[in-house]
Amino acid sequence: MANELDEMTGPVNEKGRDINVIQKQLKIKVGVGSTIFEIVLWVLLIIPGLVFLFMKVKARNYLQRLQQKIQHNASQIDNYLEQRVVILENMAALVNKAVKLDETTFLAIAQARAGGSMNEKAEALESAASRINVSLEAYPDLKAHQEIAMAMQQNGYLQKEITAAREVYNDTVLEWNGLMFRWPTYMIVAAKNGYTTRIPFSISVETKQRAREVFF
């Protein structure tokens, strides 16, 4: 029997296809069947009903812990973004001593420090880093400056940490979303508590466009 999906001979879209994260939270609902299921457990024998009650309590406790984990993961991203703000502030100040930086560089850093969503902070930092890099490319001798070199190294490290933290956040959100539809226990608990699915990390259209640009 042939494979239903054959990557060697199957049809392909030669133009490619862009994908996006859907910005929509799904509210968890259960039907009458779930209510009947619970009633039957109690009617037949009390023990199955008690066991299922225990399972629901356990599921709810786990979901509550998972919510805290998601908050922690999100906070870690903010933490790394804040550290990157400090590094870029220091780097901009050092470069500015040797070369007059464009005022928009400092405005971008100030915007990142001012707050907003994670995406807004990240985009402001990328904008500032890009402008600093332009100055460093124009004056390559600056890269040999010990403090600037260290700041560049720290900036690169934090970029990797931010990416890793976003992956951890998305993995936890994926686990949460999967549990929302695990019937009967988790799905019933989610519906009764008004839980919804969560939206994973996504980037803006502007960032996607910049990623497609030719840098070299």
79: pLDDT strictly greater than 80: yes
- Nearest Cα residue to 114 out of 140, 162, 82: 82
Which residue carries 């990623």 as its tokens?
A: 211
Using a 10 angstrom Cβ sphere, with 0-12 exposed, 13-18 middle and 19 or more buried, the burial of residue 81 is buried
State how far the alpha carbon of 6 is from the alpha carbons of 3, 9, 10, 15, 59, in Å. Answer: 6, 6, 5, 19, 39
- In this prediction, residues 39-43 reach a mean pLDDT of 90
- Per-residue pLDDT reduced to its tens digit, 103-161: 667 667 777 777 677 777 777 777 788 777 777 777 677 666 788 888 889 989 999 99
- Residue 31 DSSP code: -
Kindly give, in sequence order, each residue whose CB lies less than 8 Å from that of residue 160, ignoring residues fewer than 6 positions away: none
**Domain covering 32-46+58-206 assigned CATH 1.10.287.370 in the classification:** no
Domain boundary assignment for the chain? 32-46+58-206
pTM of the entire predicted model: 0.81
Both tokens assigned to 79: 């933490």
